[in-house]
């Protein structure tokens, strides 16, 4: 069947570079004579029939913009069979021959559901968490990491002057990739991630003690939001060794800002590949980066892969934080 019209949506937490991916989808469609419909507000928009026709001018001057021009949402209704039925009805009403969904893990579970209802779907991984196991990279991760690094470098200046300890919370409710990566890049004294059970004495206090014995007078502790409360960790440090840490929660600032080169180019490459996959008649696929090449794999297969952090990176972190 030749593809005449497809939809594109962004869903879940936004990520810098999503706009580059939307732009690439629209421009690739134009080159292939495929009509492109933008679905606003993710799966909720698909349920509500919230759409706009996309042209090259709808996506001009967005490659450099953070956020997503299509808006995004986390839809509880789409998790219900009734919500999914309504979303499928919208796809049929609009005559969509396929749909490109841009987002993280939850977005791909939604894609799976659509696909089980006979809708052709291709997913593009975009989340600052970088926690989609089947791909080496998810759009937005590098920009978010650099935003966090920039903020932590600024904190370090004032910590150094005051000879303080800082506890910084970075995003990552279920995954510690961002915290681990940022922690390595800022030379943190300790990094706490949800994948590793927390022992403040062993994982934080002991590192600070060793750092002090080696002449350090300021200490940076990076905590993924899912690893525990930054305020509790600061209190634990105070109770144990009497330092009075300052807490900074970086929060949603990490999700904003102009995407860097990596995220613009990855968004563009993945957007192109997603349309190419749909045009080739593929469905239920996710675009993945493996060893610098983009491939597409079955979504079910991708989602079934075991999650976990990079143990080698963790060992490197343990070595770097050892005093
Ligand atoms: O999925 C990306 C993410 O930024 C997580 O790191 C974070 O825990 C979550 O989204 C926050 O979600 P919300 O924007 O709904 O508060």
Structural domain tally of the chain?
2
- Residue 307's pLDDT is 75
Q: Which of 145, 171, 252 to mutate to test the pocket of ligand 1 (most atoms within 8 A of CB)?
A: 171
Helix (H) or strand (E) holding 68: none
Alpha-carbon separation of residue 86 from 79, 98, 202, 220 (angstroms): 11, 16, 52, 49
In a domain, 218, yes or no: yes
Q: Residue 176 sits in a domain of what CATH number?
A: 3.40.50.460
Q: Which of 10, 11, 13 to mutate to test the pocket of ligand 1 (most atoms within 8 A of CB)?
A: 13
For the chain, helix, strand, coil in percent to 5 are 50, 20, 35
Does the Cβ of 225 fall within 6 Å of ligand 1?
yes
- Residue 174's pLDDT is 94
Q: Residue 36 sits in a domain of what CATH number?
A: 3.40.50.450
Residues 6+ apart with CB under 8 A from 197: none
Does residue 109 share a domain with residue 70? yes
Task: Show which residues are catalytic.
Answer: 129
Report the separation in Å between the CA atom of 128 and the middle of ligand 1, taken as the mean of its atom positions: 9
Does residue 111 share a domain with residue 9? yes
Range of the domain at 190: 143-255
Q: Which of 35, 70, 101, 42 is nearest to 279 (CA)?
A: 35
Kindly state the tokens that stand for 241. 């060794």
The rounded distance, in Å, linking the Cα atoms of 268 and 24 is 5
Does the Cβ of 13 fall within 6 Å of ligand 1?
yes
Does residue 63 share a domain with residue 122? yes
DSSP conformation class of 307: P
Does the Cβ of 129 fall within 6 Å of ligand 1?
yes
Does residue 249 share a domain with residue 293? no
Tens of each residue's pLDDT in the chain, 323 residues:
789 999 999 999 999 999 999 999 999 999 999 999 999 999 999 999 999 999 999 999 999 999 999 999 999 999 999 999 999 999 999 999 999 999 999 999 999 999 999 999 999 999 999 999 999 999 999 999 999 999 999 999 999 999 999 999 999 999 999 999 999 999 999 999 999 999 999 999 999 999 999 999 999 999 999 999 999 999 999 999 999 999 999 999 999 999 999 999 999 999 999 999 999 999 999 999 999 999 999 999 999 887 789 999 999 999 999 87
Does residue 235 share a domain with residue 291? no
Beta bridge partners of 297: 286
Does residue 281 share a domain with residue 170? no
- Residue 165's pLDDT is 98
- Residue 110's pLDDT is 96
Neighbours of 39 (CB within 10 A): 31
Does the Cβ of 177 fall within 6 Å of ligand 1?
no
Kindly state the tokens that stand for 116. 């089980």
The rounded distance, in Å, linking the Cα atoms of 290 and 125 is 13
The rounded distance, in Å, linking the Cα atoms of 292 and 288 is 10
Q: Are residues 98 and 6 in contact, defined by beta-carbon separation less than 8 angstroms?
A: yes
In a domain, 75, yes or no: yes
In a domain, 101, yes or no: yes
- Residue 323's pLDDT is 78
């Amino acid at each position: 069947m030749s593809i005449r019209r497809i939809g594109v949506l962004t869903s879940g937490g936004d990520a810098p570079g999503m706009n580059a991916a939307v732009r690439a989808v629209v421009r690739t469609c134009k080159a292939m004579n495929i009509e492109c419909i933008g679905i606003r507000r993710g799966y909720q928009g698909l349920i509500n029939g919230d759409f706009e026709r996309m042209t090259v001018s709808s996506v001009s001057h967005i490659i450099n913009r953070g956020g997503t021009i299509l808006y995004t949402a986390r839809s509880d209704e789409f998790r219900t069979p009734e919500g999914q039925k309504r979303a499928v009805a919208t796809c049929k009403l609009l005559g969509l021959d396929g749909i490109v969904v841009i987002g993280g893990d939850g977005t791909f579970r939604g894609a799976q559901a659509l696909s089980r209802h006979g809708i052709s779907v291709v997913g593009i991984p975009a989340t600052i968490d970088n926690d989609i196991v089947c791909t080496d990279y998810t759009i937005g991760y590098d920009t978010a990491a650099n935003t966090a690094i920039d903020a932590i470098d600024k904190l370090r200046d004032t910590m150094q002057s005051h000879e303080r300890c800082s506890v910084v919370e970075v995003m990552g409710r279920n995954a510690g990739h961002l915290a681990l990566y940022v922690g390595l890049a800022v030379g943190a004294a300790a990094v706490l991630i949800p994948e590793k059970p927390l022992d403040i004495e062993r994982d934080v206090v002991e590192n600070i003690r060793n750092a002090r014995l080696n002449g350090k007078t300021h200490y940076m502790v990076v905590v993924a939001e899912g690893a525990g409360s930054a305020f509790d960790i600061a209190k634990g440090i105070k109770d144990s060794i009497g330092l009075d840490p300052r807490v900074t929660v970086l929060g949603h600032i990490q999700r904003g800002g102009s995407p860097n080169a990596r995220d613009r180019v990855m968004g563009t490459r993945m957007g192109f590949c997603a349309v190419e996959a749909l045009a080739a008649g593929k469905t239920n696929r996710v675009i993945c980066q493996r060893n610098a090449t983009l491939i597409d794999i079955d979504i079910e297969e991708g989602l079934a892969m075991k999650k976990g952090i990079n143990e080698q990176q963790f060992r490197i972190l343990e070595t770097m934080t050892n005093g």
